[in-house]
């Protein structure tokens, strides 16, 4: 049985944090997604599956060119778009990605079979907390870049394990940290169903923004991108 998703005009980014006309300008002026990635992008668009927006894609492509990572860990595979994008941008890199949603896993597996031509990507199935514990228990598991695009309330919980998995000059990136501006709203004014997520994000900000242990940068791309690098 095929699942039908509600369609939307622009599932790539429904909560821009800059003016819509500037978002449109960035997407028109920067190189478009082509080839296999365009096929996966169309799949996401037709089925209203959230993926990283075009301006974030372009940033990743530049960052990966500069970092030249050997290994990347992604928490939150969805349909595999970002993993495939990173594989295309860093053709010698090994990518480990994880997800627990059976429906997304099924779609990702098909996309990896069809488009992971160099067999760079390994998909792990299960809860991220459990999988991260397994990885941290393995002595040689280290990553130059860790990208989190999963349950936002869990970012603060994943952080210690992510840090232990980083190489010496490794970087962590966390997506969707603005939550359409809800980080500016008093917690009591936020819907009860969203408060756990917001509390988790605010604990994260208190941890990484208010301590010299970390070098951080908040980028107004998509719904906010947080970059973290441990200080020496």
- The CA distance from 174 to 11, in Å, is 19
Query: Which structure tokens are listed for 85?
Result: 């994008």
Binding site annotation covers 99? yes
Binding site annotation covers 153? no
What is the DSSP-derived secondary structure letter of residue 204?
A: H
Helix-helix angle 81-89:35-47, to 10 degrees: 160
- The CA distance from 131 to 33, in Å, is 31
Please check whether residue 178 is in contact with residue 188, taking contact to mean a CB–CB distance below 8 angstroms.
no
Write down the number of H helices and E strands in the chain: 8, 7
Binding site annotation covers 217? no
Place of tokens 């960052």: 63
Binding site annotation covers 82? yes
- By three-state DSSP, how is residue 195 classified? helix
**Binding residue positions for S-adenosyl-L-methionine:** 52, 82, 99, 127-128, 149
**Binding residue positions:** 52, 82, 99, 127-128, 149
């Amino acid at each position: 049985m095929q699942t039908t998703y509600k369609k939307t005009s622009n599932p790539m980014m429904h909560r821009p944090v800059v003016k819509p006309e500037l978002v449109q300008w960035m997407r028109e002026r920067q190189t478009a997604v082509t080839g296999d990635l365009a096929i996966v992008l169309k799949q996401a668009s037709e089925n209203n599956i959230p993926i990283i927006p075009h301006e974030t894609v372009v940033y990743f492509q530049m960052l990966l060119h500069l970092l030249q990572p050997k290994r990347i860990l992604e928490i939150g595979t969805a349909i595999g778009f970002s993993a495939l994008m990173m594989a295309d941008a860093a053709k010698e890199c090994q990518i480990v990605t994880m997800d627990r949603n059976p429906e997304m896993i099924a779609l990702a597996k098909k996309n990896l079979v069809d488009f992971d031509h160099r067999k760079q990507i390994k998909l792990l199935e299960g809860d991220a907390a459990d999988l991260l514990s397994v990885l941290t228990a393995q002595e040689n598991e280290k990553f130059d870049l860790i990208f989190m695009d999963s349950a936002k309330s869990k970012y603060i919980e994943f952080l210690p394990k992510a840090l232990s998995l980083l190489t010496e000059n490794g970087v962590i990136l966390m997506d969707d940290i603005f939550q359409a501006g809800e980080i500016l709203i008093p917690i009591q004014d936020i819907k009860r169903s969203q408060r756990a997520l917001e509390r988790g994000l605010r604990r994260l900000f208190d941890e990484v923004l208010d301590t010299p242990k970390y070098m951080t940068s908040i980028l107004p791309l998509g719904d906010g991108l947080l970059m973290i690098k441990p200080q020496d």
